[in-house]
Structures are given as C-alpha cells and as structure tokens.
C-alpha cells in the first residue's frame, strides 16, 4: 500500500525509487546512502581500541551488582537483557532476532522493508564477502539457538526480493536479544559510597545510540565525581 514519506527520509536525504528500481511486490520505496556496520569486525575494532587505550577485557558473569562493586568503586552497567535479573528491572524484555549469513552473490546495495505494522521484518545488508539476511522479532523469547524454520523463512522472503540470494551458500546463523525497555535507562545510583552508572535498554537501536549514550554516560560520571 502507498504510504506517507517516512519521517526518517530527510535525515538520510532519501529520494523515491524510480518504478524500475522497485522490488517485486512493492509500490513505493526510497533510496539513500547510509553506513552499514559489519558487527563482528566492528566489535574486534572496538576491542583493539580499548586495548590501545590501556583497557583490559575479562569475561565474567556477575551474580549481583554487589559482587561487581566488591572489585571496583565505579561500575558501568551495560548488561542489556541481563539487567532484568542483575538489577531486578522487570521492564526489560528480550525481543529475539535471528539472521542468516550467506556468501555474497554480488549484491552492493542494502534492502530493508519498512512497511508500517508489518508482521515480518525483511532486510538484507551486503558486507563485502557476505550478505546478512533478516529477520525476526519475537518478544519474550530468550532462546539463543538458531531456529531452522525461521532461517528457511528468512531465506525465502529475501530471495523473493532479491532472486540471486536463492542459491547463495549459507555460511552462518546469528541470534541476538534486543534489550527492549519503555525507555533507555541512563542514570547513576549511589550504593554505600560506590557509584553505579546504568546504561541499558536500547532495544533494536543500540548500535545507533551507542556513541551518544556513551558520551552522556561519561558526562554523568564526571558530574557525579
Ligand atoms: C537481529 C538484530 C538486529 C539488530 N539490528 C540493529 C541495527 O540495525 N541497528 C541498531 O542500532 N541496533 C540493532 N540491534 C540492536 C542492538 O544489537 C542492541 O541494541 C545492542 O546490542 C544492545 O547493546 P548492549 O551492549 O546494551 O547489550 P548487549 O549487546 O545485549 O550486551 C550486554 C552484555 O552484557 C553481558 N551481561 C549480561 N548480564 C551480565 C552479567 N550478569 N554479568 C556479566 N555480563 C553480563 C552480556 O553477556 C552481553 O555481553 C539489533 C539486534 C538484533 C538482535
């Protein structure tokens, strides 16, 4: 169905697709340039940057904030869906998302369905040698195992839009939990003289919001010193 120009269109200088550019089944579309992030590579880059700045990474699951506070006087709590258990925040919900990664058959532009009220999320993002296909959105589902039927459905939907994906070799499956909350929690809390800064609940936009929230977190920490 035709729809109004999306609110985000001016932010990315999006222009309407020419009729010949539209994918099968679509009556309207917008074309624009935007950064696309290859997450595993980006996480590696961030880890290197942290190491170069003198930071150290250690993997450990904390049973409570008190356990973390026994190790440091300032804690930054970025536990995503884990905040539900760690700080007892029942407003945090998991919205599970599944992706399929395939060899890139030569795709150079991304596609993202933006049909309002759509039951399904359909998108694909080329990332040099692979294409990441999506997706799903299952509220309250905490299962991190890929689901075969969901993967087949993602492939079917994407191949309907971009036929070259139909025979692309599958090289991986990814599942993640979007930490959805009515609003992001970005605040400080004093606990027996120690400081906890909470920064969680970014839902399906955590990457988009990451640098802005990080800067605000640093400002909050300086203000609390
Ligand atoms: C399929 C999918 C597609 C997405 N696409 C986009 C997109 O296009 N753009 C965008 O901006 N965002 C997107 N997102 C959302 C984005 O991934 C999240 O908003 C973001 O990952 C949240 O970051 P976070 O660091 O707050 O939480 P998380 O990434 O969930 O990280 C939380 C970390 O805390 C750790 N942790 C939890 N509890 C504990 C504990 N008790 N002790 C120690 N460690 C703990 C976890 O192990 C994890 O490492 C997508 C998400 C999914 C699932």
- The answer to whether 123 and 111 have CB atoms below 8 angstroms apart is yes
Task: Quote the pLDDT of residue 192.
Answer: 84
> Under CATH, which architecture does the 94-178 domain have?
2-Layer Sandwich (3.30)
Task: Quote the pLDDT of residue 5.
Answer: 85
> Which stretches of the chain score pLDDT less than 50?
none
Q: Which atom of ligand 1 approaches the CA of 85 most closely?
A: 41
Domain 61-92+180-224 has CATH 3.40.50.720: yes
Q: For ligand 1, pick from 123, 143, 207 the residue to mutate: most ligand atoms within 8 Å of CB.
A: 207
Q: Which atom of ligand 1 approaches the CA of 83 most closely?
A: 38
Task: Quote the pLDDT of residue 200.
Answer: 98
* 201 ligand 1 Cβ < 6 A: no
- The answer to whether 225 and 195 have CB atoms below 8 angstroms apart is no
Cβ contacts of 124 within 8 Å, gap of 6 or more:
107, 110, 111, 131, 132, 133, 134, 158, 161, 162, 165
Task: Quote the pLDDT of residue 190.
Answer: 93
Task: Quote the pLDDT of residue 51.
Answer: 98
Task: Quote the pLDDT of residue 225.
Answer: 77
Kindly report, as residue ranges, where domains of CATH 3.40.50.720 are found in the chain: 61-92+180-224
- The answer to whether 161 and 73 have CB atoms below 8 angstroms apart is no
Task: Quote the pLDDT of residue 128.
Answer: 83
How far away, in angstroms, is 177 Cα from ligand 1 center? Answer: 7
How far away, in angstroms, is 75 Cα from ligand 1 center? Answer: 18
* 207 ligand 1 Cβ < 6 A: yes
How far away, in angstroms, is 78 Cα from ligand 1 center? Answer: 9
> Full-prediction pTM beyond 0.85?
yes
* 176 ligand 1 Cβ < 6 A: yes
């Amino acid at each position: 169905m035709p729809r109004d120009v999306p609110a985000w269109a001016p932010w990315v200088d999006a222009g309407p697709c020419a009729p010949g550019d539209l994918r099968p089944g679509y009556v309207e579309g917008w074309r624009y340039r935007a950064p696309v992030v290859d997450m595993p590579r980006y996480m590696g880059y961030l880890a290197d940057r942290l190491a170069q700045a003198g930071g150290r990474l250690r993997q450990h699951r904390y049973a409570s904030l008190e356990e973390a506070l026994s190790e440091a006087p300032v804690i930054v709590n970025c536990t995503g869906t884990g905040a539900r258990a760690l700080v007892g925040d029942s407003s945090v919900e998991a919205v599970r998302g599944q992706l399929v990664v395939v060899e890139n058959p030569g795709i150079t532009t991304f596609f993202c369905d933006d049909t309002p009220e759509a039951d399904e999320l359909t998108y694909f993002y080329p990332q040099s040698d692979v294409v990441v296909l999506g997706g799903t959105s299952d509220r309250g589902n905490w299962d991190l195992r890929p689901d075969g039927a969901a993967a087949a459905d993602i492939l079917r939907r994407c191949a309907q839009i971009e036929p070259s994906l139909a025979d692309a070799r599958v090289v991986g499956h990814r599942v993640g939990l979007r930490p959805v909350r009515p609003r992001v929690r970005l605040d400080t809390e004093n606990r027996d003289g120690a400081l906890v800064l909470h920064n969680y609940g970014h839902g399906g936009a955590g990457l988009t919001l990451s640098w802005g929230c990080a800067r605000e977190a640093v400002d909050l920490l300086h203000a609390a010193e």
